[in-house]
Chains A and B, each alone.
Chain A
Amino acid sequence: GQQLNQSPQSMFIQEGEDVSMNCTSSSIFNTWLWYKQDPGEGPVLLIALYKAGELTSNGRLTAQFGITRKDSFLNISASIPSDVGIYFCAGPDSGAGSYQLTFGKGTKLSVIP
């Protein structure tokens, strides 16, 4: 199946700093989804992107659908302690059907107060 590569795998930042992470694929995606998972909880959908070049914001979060359709980016501005967690990208697995998703392995974010 398709694979999604997320980078960085982990990052430590100071509170107040901006954060950038990305997700790349060797194949084209028609949808990009970004999730956040808090410790001990299930992933929560943050942003969904459906068009190449699309830029969508959700509060301090901004995500972009790359124009090549093989990548996506998530930015967090002015980080706060509650931003801590694992951020996953995901996209529909075109080879599988039935709305199955391929997930990246996640970027673990730690925020130092």
Chain B
Amino acid sequence: AQKITQTQPGMFVQEKEAVTLDCTYDTSDPSYGLFWYKQPSSGEMIFLIYQGSYDQQNATEGRYSLNFQKARKSANLVISASQLGDSAMYFCAMREGISGYSTLTFGKGTMLLVSP
């Protein structure tokens, strides 16, 4: 079974609108971390936001927020007021375990296109 599922291969949104990118995860470990990364066409991987499994509040970073629904095992990324520069591939990732040397497991990504 996939540990990270991103069901939207592609999403379109108009500039200034909000968009939600879906991510569901599968783990039996009570301690885990969820991450979102952005990969623009230039290729680099840019860290956006982090949510820990024990965090009581949803994470926010500027225009990015993470809608964390633990019972549903979902960690959707919400981008408010989309900008043209938000057009990129977005990856959800999970680190299982408290910390230490756990590596990231990535989803297949969602390509977001923002139109004027």
| B and A form one assembly | no
Q: Which residues of B contact A (CB under 8 A)?
A: none
Q: Which residues of A contact B (CB under 8 A)?
A: none
